[in-house]
Amino acid sequence: MLKEVVLDSALDVAKMLPGAFAVILLSDVIMARLRSVKISGSAAGVVTGSLLGIIPQCGIPVGFAKLYADGAIGLAVIISVFLSSSDEAVIIAVGNYDFPFVLKFLAVKIAVALTIGGACSFFAPARLGREMGDSRPFMPKTAPRRVKDLIAKAARGTVVIAAYVFVIELALGLLIESVGESAITALLSSSGLFIQPVVAALIGAIPNCASSIFLMKAYGKGILSFSALISGLCANSGYGILVIFRSLPLSRSLKFTALLISLSVASGELLTLPALLMAD
């Protein structure tokens, strides 16, 4: 079992590397060229984050998490990226479900990310910014300007993040193997329609691609409702949340995680309401 978990963890990290390196390099280029950036969540940033997040490449939320930790983007943008991200669940959906379902799934995820990201940007930016530590202008540290120096710096950052992710991935993989998928499945099956989004969000928040795959498979087996699926996969940011915890103070990381899970649960519960009303 240990050998299999180690191999799976290594493969998952290897798949993350290209996307993570590309976005980290982009963030380093931004920091090298800009003298100051006002922390904000512009409409363009929210739209861009929502659309990029749906790409099934776990390096994207990782890279954007680094941008957020460095202060180059605001809360609205990173929330949009994380809510639209689904890690490998998109690949599972494309390979196992028909096109209308995949289109519906992606459309709902994008709509959730745009709506909540837009709300963070336009309705409560100041308060949310103060609570999440986004209120100060970003003043980048001195960064190398030569291309080869930027590439080397991004490569070092990618290796550090990959090593950190591998350790967490390995620990979580061993935990899942010990607990067993059957126990998690039983927990979801016994949950009511209104409780499922909460349980699914907590599972989705686990920074492991196995959680997103499990949620999509559970939906396919009829164990999970569509609203709970959305809740769980909105909370799933791949390894992005690990970068948040590695880069930011613990109190701020916990606040961010609590906000992400709460928004994910709220999205799932709102989608549950029509089913509850029809049942009545």
Residue 280's pLDDT band (cuts 50, 70, 90): very low
- What band does 63 get if pLDDT is binned at 50, 70 and 90? confident
**pLDDT attached to residue 110:** 94
Q: Is 151 exposed, middle or buried (0-12, 13-18, 19+ CB in 10 A)?
A: middle
For residues 36 and 143, what is the distance between their CA atoms, to the nearest angstrom?
13
pTM: 0.70
Rounded to an integer, what distance in angstroms lies between the CA atom of residue 113 and that of residue 47? 8
pLDDT in tens, 42-55: 677 888 888 888 87
Closest CA to 38 of 186, 168, 137, 127: 137
Give 125's pLDDT tier (boundaries 50, 70, 90): low
Structural contact between residues 213 and 181, judged by C-beta atoms closer than 8 angstroms? no
37 phi and psi, to 5 degrees?
Answer: -130, 130
Tokens of 104: 């519906």
User: What pLDDT does 256 receive?
Assistant: 93
Gap between the Cα atoms of 235 and 215, Å rounded: 11
Alpha helices, H only, 54-208: 59-70, 75-84, 89-96, 99-122, 125-132, 147-179, 181-190, 196-204
Residue 126, class by beta-carbon neighbours within 10 Å (0-12 exposed, 13-18 middle, 19+ buried)? Answer: exposed
Q: Which is more confidently placed, 90 or 267?
A: 267
* Distance between CA atoms of residues 21 and 62, nearest Å: 9
Q: Is the Cβ–Cβ distance between 205 and 233 less than 8 Å?
A: no
Q: Please, which residues have CB within 8 angstroms of residue 262's CB and are 6 or more apart in sequence?
A: none
**Average pLDDT of 234-240?**
86
Nearest 5°: phi and psi at 138? -85, 120
Q: Which of 228, 236, 178, 188 is nearest to 212 (CA)?
A: 236
Distance CA 24, CA 26 (A): 5
- pLDDT digits 0-9 by tens, 208-224: 667 787 788 778 777 78
147-177 tens-digit pLDDT: 777 788 778 877 876 776 677 667 766 766 7
